[in-house]
Amino acid sequence: MSGLTTLSPTAVTPMEGNFLVPNATFFVELAAFILMFWLLARFVIPPINKAMTARQDAIRKEFDELEESKKGARDAEAEFRAQMADARKDAARVRDEAREQGNSIIAEAKEQAQVEAQRVKDQAHAQIAAERQAALTSLRAEVGTLATSLAGRIVGESLEDDDRSARVVDRFLSDLETLDDSKSARDGASA
């Protein structure tokens, strides 16, 4: 231990002075702080503030655009709903008109069919009446010929006289019609 000297606690002497009085290091640090503060305040913070303000303005603008688009979407939806309601009303009106037209077409077709059926029926009745009249005329001629020839055989003389034979045939046919009418009346009463 010869080369070593020991320090005793009393050998280290603290710096003598007042701690409230700043020393040179403090002033250098203060000057550096002020310089850094001024540089930050002058060159760094304004662009950051400007960028933040621009970003805030952009966000506000986007919110405004969003609100406008929401309003536009609501207006478009309301218009769409109104158009759909109008379209439904128009479709219902068209359906009703089509139904009415269909009913009128059906009614017209029924009426035309009835008119056509009545025309066919009338034509058939007219044809039947004409055929009946032709049959009666033909029957009268045949019955007249047969009756005249039969009466001539029974009587034993010829009934060639046209007036007389016509009277005999007419009387015979009227007796047949009277007999046929009374028979029809009896059948109708018994039914």
| Contact present, 148 and 169 (Cβ < 8 Å) | yes
Q: At residue 52, does pLDDT exceed 80?
A: yes
Residues 6+ apart with CB under 8 A from 140: 169, 173
- Mean per-residue pLDDT, 53-74: 94
pTM (2 d.p.): 0.38
Q: Which of 10-19, 100-109, 121-130, 138-147 has the lowest mean pLDDT?
A: 10-19
**SS3 sequence, 71-85?**
HHHHHHHHHHHHHHH
CA distances from 72 to 75, 78, 87, 131, 137 (A): 5, 10, 22, 85, 94
Residue 167 phi, psi (nearest 5) = -65, -40
Residue ranges of domains in the chain: 25-181
For residue 165, give both structure tokens: 């034979």
Q: What is the DSSP string of 43-64?
A: IIHHHHHHHHHHHHHHHHHHHH
d(CA 46, CA 40): 9
Question: What is the chain's mean pLDDT, rounded?
Answer: 83
Model confidence at 147, pLDDT cuts 50, 70, 90, reads confident
Selected residue with higher pLDDT from 22 and 5: 22
Angstrom distances, CA of residue 11 to CA of 5, 16, 19, 25? 11, 14, 21, 26
> What percent of the chain shows pLDDT beyond 70?
85
Separation between Cα atoms, residue 30 and residue 36, nearest integer Å = 10
Residue 145 near residue 116 (C-beta atoms within 8 A) = no
Contact call for residues 62 and 54 (beta carbons, < 8 A): no
Give the burial class of 148: count Cβ atoms within 10 A of its Cβ; 0-12 exposed, 13-18 middle, 19 or more buried.
Answer: buried
Given a cut of 60, is residue 59 above it in pLDDT? yes
Sign of the C-alpha dihedral, residues 149, 155, 157, 159? negative
Over the stretch 83-132, which tens digit does the pLDDT of each residue have? 999 999 999 999 999 999 999 999 999 999 999 999 999 999 999 988 88
| Higher-scoring residue by pLDDT: 133, 53 | 53
